[in-house]
Structure 1
Amino acid sequence: MSTLSVFYIKSVLIIFSSVAVWLGTRTGALWEQIHQRNQENRVLAISLIVFRLLPFLLVYAVLDYSPRGDVPFFWGKASVAYQGGWVYRDFASYHAPLFSYIITLPILLWYTPKAIVLLMVLMEAGIIWGTYRTYKSLHNDAFKSVMLYIILSAPAVMVLLGGQEDEWLWGVAVWMLYYFLRTKNDGLGLGLRFSSGLIVIKATAGFWLFPLWVLLKKKGAFLVGMLLIGIPILVILYLLMGLDFLMPLEQATNLLTPNLFTVLRPLITAILGHAPHLPTFTWIGMVITLSSAVWIIYPARHQSLVKTLPLAFLATYIAMTIFQLTSPGYYVFTYMLPLVMELVDWKKSIDTAILLIFNALLVVQPFLFTHLNSPTYDDITVLANPLFLLEYTLQFLNVACYGWYFRKVHQKARYSV
């Protein structure tokens, strides 16, 4: 399938999903009828089949599409792990130590990169289901929000065509939220669950510890829970491969887009007189990301963790997509589901409109950026070309959307909880 054909398919998906979501926000009787008949679980299951499993079969079985995005990289390490190789020592990985072995599991049954995409689809379905189970006692619109999320084109493209795993971070967070709802205990059990993200997914799973720490009442017990998992894993990794397990830190200089740095890069280059030193700006971005997330959540520190845990998660990862130069647009997959659950008021047309614009940007900008061979805009004269100007404008609009939702987290943490 040609690149242009893929773009046309994505464009159709954007139009279809936008119309469907807009209509979905205007048909209150439909959601009420489903609720009265107690059909939420059935409709959710059917929707996951229709909007995820069937498209997977169409794309990869009928059309025989080859997985792209991160999947070839995932396949490279999964195939070596399949043969008994050690992560970090025998193959490169920027993920947590267990991730490579988890994505190896499906290829034990189906030895093809498509099996990894299927795993991502099934994991997303599980996280969606877990989110609904957690939120249905918290929000009246939980079912409606989950359903409209499923219909959005950006998450579908990210998981089906990109094979993205970033939503796993929210999977850990919503697991923690569900546990806290049942136990009202933010100590040992929560710490154990938090640490699972650090050994299963990737280092960025630990970013939101900083605002979360402000909210915890049983900090000591939470820390013990983290150490019970963290220390044995670090010892095992060191014994097996020395300091090779620090490999994920090398990604800190891998420039991705769009974020505030890439939008401001032409200005920064003009001021400095040369291309920016990426490691320096990486650490600056990291400091701003974590400190701004703590600042956002601090006023809500006395509120229930039921309300503030999702906000701490959103504050961290929205800030990351704004300030970290290693953050691509697809990282929005990390928080798109809680964003829909927490920050979108379906009764407000402006909320729906901005979400749909954001959804379209997340699909179109990465395609155009790749088509133009990943421009950095150190030479600002390239903006005289309409296509480069369009791509740069899409980057700017993406960052503006990040800022919109960051502001909404701030408002909710300060005034609404």
Structure 2
Amino acid sequence: MSVVLAKLIISLGCILLVGIVLYFRSPITAGLKTKPVAGVLGVSWLLLRVFPFLVIYLWANQEPTSDVNGFWDEGSKASMGQMVYRDFWSPYSPLYAYFLGIWLKIWYNPRMIVLTMALMDGVALVLTYFFYKDRYSKEDLLFKALLYLLLPGSLVLCVVGAQEDIWMWLFVVLAFLVRKRWGVIGYSLVMALGVLTTKAIFGLALFPLFLIEKEKIRFLIPLSLIGALSVALLYHLVKLEFLQPLDEANVLRAPNLLSVINPWTFNSIGTGAKVWNWLGLVATISVGCLTAWRMRNQPINVMLAHLWVAMYGLMMIAQQSAYSNYLFLFLLPLVFEVMDWTNLRQVILLFIFNVLSVIHPSYWWRMGMPNYATPADIFGLQARTIDYVIQVGVVVLTGYFINVAFPRSEKKKYRTAQ
């Protein structure tokens, strides 16, 4: 449990720092008015991503753990020219392993994967800054960037956990920024690249975005052509093995609605059944479509943030294969747009949400990934009781922020500044 304790200590330290930054918000934002954007973002990223990386992996000589082992297996084999899905198993889109493999050509070491995740996190942050540049002042955006970099949900999941979920937000923001300059064709091409580079679940966002798209045919044609060519090529090379990412839906994880409810039904709801995967998928897409439709008249950066938090937040607790690391998927839009940083309740709940989401995967995994069938399973051991309480906390808090992001009606007014 040393990893869990280390993550808890780091998380609490991060929360303390965020609290201090929020307390001194006025003088900090005043100082940021005169600072160059590139300098603030660059120095902040170096201090809160590269420096922790150097301390953990070079000074303390810790080896990367958890998902990095799987990423290393994929990336190292891809860097040697092996074929994804045929020569090695992958739960990710076909280009993911090869992207990692490119970086491993620079430094053939698992630590390079962590550094790559930190770099992509920095790129996502910079793109988010420009995405909201016309909505908030420079100092407000830089202040939110600092908050994001300090939150344990980003720092720990990026530098310690080496999670890649932020890539999906990176690609969708990049797609909309490209659209401003090159139109809907460029937007569609970047979205297609995102589907091919990240995870299959990135494709869920295509449904609500297509619903509100005014140039539907021009948006659909590049996506369809690239999709058809990709499927044809993959089938030629690996046959139906390219469906490996879909197997992820069959992997039972926690916390989610089913893992929390199941023991109180005495294991009668059929956890693991594919029907729950389909119901979760339908619910996720439906909420995404409803959010997008109700906010179709809002600025695109406002709509997208609420869509992303509501849809992927629901996916995090509705899908049996999702787990709390998925907070990293929607934390940037939550921090930059959905959160009201003047609302003390929201801030405190976000702190708790971050800490619980960061420590639970490691705690649950080191307990043997328990699945509770009866109330007695929960309360038989203190460690399991703690695990279940954390699960409930994550599910409830995810629901809370889904509620914050979900628009009650298309007429709701959204703030223009914080």
- Is 1:390 aligned with 2:386? yes
Measure how far apart 1:30 and its partner are. 2.8
Q: Which residue of 2 aligns with 1:43?
A: 40
Deviation track 1:274-311 (CA, whole Å, cap 9, x = no partner) reads: x5343221112111211122223322234443432232
Match of 2:365 among 353, 366, 370: 370
Measure how far apart 1:181 and its partner are. 4.5
Q: Which residue of 2 aligns with 1:161?
A: 160
Q: Is the 8 A contact 2:262 2:374 kept in 1?
A: no
What is the letter of the counterpart of residue 28 of structure 2? Answer: W
- Is 1:209 aligned with 2:206? yes
2 CA distance for matches of 1:303 and 1:267?
42
Q: Which residue of 1 aligns with 2:340?
A: 345
Measure how far apart 1:348 and its partner are. 1.5
- Is 1:62 aligned with 2:66? no
Q: Residues 249-328 of structure 1 correspond to what in structure 2 (within 5 A)?
A: 249-272=246-269, 275-328=270-323
Match of 2:219 among 214, 219, 222: 222
Q: Residues 139-218 of structure 1 correspond to what in structure 2 (within 5 A)?
A: 139-140=136-137, 141-182=140-181, 185=183, 187-218=184-215
Q: Is the 8 A contact 1:190 1:225 kept in 2?
A: no
Q: Is the 8 A contact 2:378 2:384 kept in 1?
A: yes
Q: Is the 8 A contact 1:173 1:313 kept in 2?
A: no
2 CA distance for matches of 1:289 and 1:158?
23
**Shift in CA distance, 265/39, structure 1 to aligned 2, threshold 3 Å:** same
**Shift in CA distance, 143/373, structure 1 to aligned 2, threshold 3 Å:** same
What is the letter of the counterpart of residue 121 of structure 2? Answer: E
**Shift in CA distance, 35/160, structure 1 to aligned 2, threshold 3 Å:** closer
Q: Which moved more, 1:33-42 or 1:201-210?
A: 33-42
What is the letter of the counterpart of residue 81 of structure 1? Answer: A
**Shift in CA distance, 300/134, structure 1 to aligned 2, threshold 3 Å:** closer
**Shift in CA distance, 174/73, structure 1 to aligned 2, threshold 3 Å:** same
The runs of 4+ residues in structure 1 deviating greater than 6 Å are none
Q: Which residue of 2 aligns with 1:245?
A: 242
2 CA distance for matches of 1:371 and 1:144?
36
**Shift in CA distance, 143/111, structure 1 to aligned 2, threshold 3 Å:** same
Q: Is the 8 A contact 2:262 2:268 kept in 1?
A: no
Q: Which residue of 1 aligns with 2:6?
A: 9
Q: Which residue of 2 aligns with 1:406?
A: 402
Match of 1:98 among 84, 89, 95: 95
**Shift in CA distance, 27/213, structure 1 to aligned 2, threshold 3 Å:** same
2 CA distance for matches of 1:315 and 1:136?
23
1 CA distance for matches of 2:153 and 2:85?
32
Q: Which moved more, 1:31-40 or 1:81-90?
A: 31-40
2 CA distance for matches of 1:413 and 1:321?
24
When the two structures are superposed, what TM-score results if normalisation uses the length of structure 1?
A: 0.93
Q: Is the 8 A contact 2:256 2:322 kept in 1?
A: yes
Paired residue secondary structure (2:342): coil
Match of 1:123 among 111, 114, 120: 120
| Aligned-residue CA RMSD (Å) | 1.8
Match of 2:351 among 353, 356, 361: 356
Q: Is the 8 A contact 2:310 2:403 kept in 1?
A: no
When the two structures are superposed, what TM-score results if normalisation uses the length of structure 2?
A: 0.93
Structure 2: which 5+ residue stretches go unaligned? Answer: none
Paired residue secondary structure (2:407): helix
Deviation track 1:132-179 (CA, whole Å, cap 9, x = no partner) reads: 122232123222111101011121111111111110000011112323
1 CA distance for matches of 2:178 and 2:268?
50
Paired residue secondary structure (2:322): coil
Percent identity (aligned): 30
1 CA distance for matches of 2:267 and 2:94?
41
Q: Is the 8 A contact 2:113 2:162 kept in 1?
A: yes
Structure 1: which 5+ residue stretches go unaligned? Answer: none
Measure how far apart 1:376 and its partner are. 0.5
